[in-house]
Amino acid sequence: MILTYYCIITMIIIAYLLGSIPSAVWIGKKYYGIDIREYGSKNAGTTNMLRVLGRRAALPVFALDVLKGFVAVTIMDLMKYDDFFTGGSHEFWFYMLRIGAVIAAVVGHIFPVFAGFKGGKGVATLVGAVIGLNAPLVLLCFGVWVLTLIVTHYVSLASMIAGCCFPLFTLISPKVMQALPASSPFLIFSFLTAGLLIFTHRKNIERLRAGTESKIYIWKPRQTTPPSSGTPHRKEGSDR
């Protein structure tokens, strides 16, 4: 049993360290010579990379952030080989373990040990982690996100609406509801996730209410404008 606890703690630490990989910071410094946390919204995430440096910089950041969240959760499947997690009576605790990995990875992204504990909002990492838990629900939420973005052009609003739909989709998910009460941690987690997204976007909510939130036009060609104060000079070959 002591070995089981040791493995659980080790896995949670690994999930946190995976979440702490600051892809936006490292890519910004390596290929563009800037710390993305000093520009735009000052968040080390995909949206700020898109606003400041363009699609070419934002896409790999999004992919890496999703991947690290996914890996942080799926490596927990190794614990299935532990006797403690075998049998239906312990399915509840396996749900708890995987959700613990989600939380650790997102906390790692928001407070990355490899970047001075100053990261992003963790949305992409959360998406990757929840894919590891229940991919169909993520696809539904992603559809809501895309539709909202197309209509409003606000990434923050799209993220909040998609996040609020997460617990609603969970409530109608046969996979989750048929597994109750063992799946109850996941159900509770879906509501907490919606609340967390609202909390982490509280400044965006203020800007939305004031009409000052930036819009994103993914399919609209980016205009070439002279660099202004607060906008980094992109290196040759960067996306415009």
* Mean pLDDT, all residues of the chain: 86
Q: How large is the average pLDDT for residues 214-238?
A: 54
Residue 215 included in any domain: no
DSSP type of residue 40: T
Query: What is the value of pTM for the model shown?
Result: 0.81
Please state the domain count of the chain.
1
- Dist CA 80 CA 217 (whole Å): 44
Residue 33 included in any domain: yes
The predicted pLDDT at position 229 comes to 44
- How many other C-beta atoms are found inside a 10 Å radius of the C-beta of residue 115? 21
Q: Give a yes or no: residue 225 inside a domain.
A: no
User: Does the pLDDT of residue 87 top 90, yes or no?
Assistant: no
Name the band, by pLDDT with cuts 50, 70 and 90, for residue 89: low
Note the pLDDT of residue 234.
Answer: 52
pLDDT above 90 (res 70): yes
How far is residue 229's CA from residue 233's CA, in Å, rounded to a whole number? 10
The whole domain housing 173 covers 2-210
Residue 85 has pLDDT above 80, yes or no: no
Whether residue 32 is contained in a domain is answered as yes
Per-residue pLDDT tens over the stretch 170-222: 999 998 888 888 889 999 999 998 998 898 888 889 999 999 988 887 666 55
Domain assignment of residue 36, yes or no: yes
Can you give the pLDDT at residue 231?
53
Q: Would 50 be classed as within a structural domain?
A: yes
Rg (CA), the chain: 19
Distance CA 125, CA 108 (A): 9
Average pLDDT over residues 62-77: 95
Strands (E), the chain: none
Interatomic CA distance for residues 113 and 111, integer angstroms:
6
